[in-house]
Amino acid sequence: MSSIDGVGLGLRFAFLDDVVDAIAAGTRLPGVAFFEVSPENHMRRGGHVPAAVERVAEHYRFLTHGLTLSIGGLDPFDRAYMAELRRFVERSKSPFHSDHLCFSGAGGRMLHDLLPLPLTQASAIHVAARIREAQDLLGVPVAIENITRYFVPGERSMDEADYVAEVLDRSSAKLLLDVNNVWVNAVNDGFDALEFLRRLPLDRVVQLHVAGHDRSEEHGLVIDTHGADMIDPVLDLCAWVIERTGPLPVVLERDHRIPPLPELLIELGRVEAAYARGLAAHARFARGDA
């Protein structure tokens, strides 16, 4: 589905001007194969930011990753928002658009967070129908991302791996697999992250996310902050998946305590190393060496 692969970076305001400066200086950022952009930060907007993003788009390919589609929500899709999103995705030439397997609001209110969905068949049926509707409205394939969730609403009739698989089965959606989210949920809920990954339909994965997280004493949980360096076990999960899927786009997300760009690129180098390790193992796997 995606002709983009390798390691990329989530484009953020904090270093947007640095990227543009590097472009102006004729420098290609080491290790950055592409950028992932969040349309809601750039849609319906003029001025400095879109001008800078356009400049970046002249030199790097983009994947689009949304924040407020609320794919599991009950409120009807906002047609103006969807039309604007469609235009943005088209302009970005992203081969697919991703958003989260969650809901973000109810009763016409948008809470700007990734709220957990019930793990039931009715929920999976609802989400699958919404994905199909979103794909029709956006005109591109939709990929859904597994989220970090700190509780499950209500009695579950299936576990999360089965739920994700059922949503994918019932829709034509692809999977944006966030291995940090898997790791965080595994730690918080005490399950085996690798076992979880083994049960996912990895042939549906079109992209990976990696990120850092923080342990919160206040909540007594690991919180998916995107505000710290990645830990090695998360990179190991990334390599494990790449070993089985082969080349994919892998994005480092950093949203809080963003270090200066040179430091972030060093962190990205760790993703590159894990990705290369996964690809090497994939090649051995494909040759039947394993």
Interface contacts to another protein, rule CB under 8 A: 40-41, 43-51, 67-68, 72-74, 78, 81, 103, 105-113, 115-118, 120, 122-123, 125-126, 150-156, 218-221, 223
Find, among 51, 71, 173, the residue nearest to 114 by Cα. 71
Q: How far apart are CA 20 and CA 219, in angstroms?
A: 39
Number of Cβ within a 10 Å radius of residue 185: 22
Q: Where are the beta strands (DSSP E) in 11-60?
A: 34-37
Rg (C-alpha) for the chain, rounded Å, is: 18
**215 has which bridge partners?**
222
Whole-number minimum distance, CB 265 to another protein, in Å?
Answer: 25
Q: Which is nearer to another protein, 61 or 156 (CB)?
A: 156
Q: Measured from the CB atom, is 32 or 102 closer to another protein?
A: 102
Q: Judge whether 257 and 227 are in contact, CB under 8 Å.
A: yes
Given the complex with another protein, which of 110 and 165 has the nearer CB atom?
Answer: 110
**Cβ-based nearer residue to another protein, 224 or 272:** 224
Residue number, 63 or 115, with CB nearest to another protein:
115
- Considering beta carbons, is residue 41 or 135 the nearer one to another protein? 41
Residue that the structure tokens 């989400």 belong to: 127
Question: Smallest distance, Å, CB 9 to another protein?
Answer: 20
Q: How far is the CB of 121 from another protein (least distance, A)?
A: 8
**Tokens representing residue 210 in the block:** 């990696």
Instruction: Supply the minimum distance, in Å, between the C-beta of residue 211 and another protein.
Output: 15
Query: Measured from the CB of residue 98, what is the shortest distance to another protein in angstroms?
Result: 16
- Own/partner pairs for 77-80, CB < 8 Å, 24+ apart? 77/130, 77/133, 77/134, 77/137, 79/137
Q: CA-based angle 96:136:6, to the nearest 5? A: 5
- To another protein, the closest distance from the beta carbon of 175 in angstroms equals 22
Task: Tell me how far, at minimum, the Cβ of 156 lies from another protein, in Å.
Answer: 8
Nearer to another protein, 2 or 188 (CB): 188
How many CB atoms within 10 Å of residue 108? Answer: 8
Which of 263, 261, 267 lies closest to 232 in space, CA to CA? 267
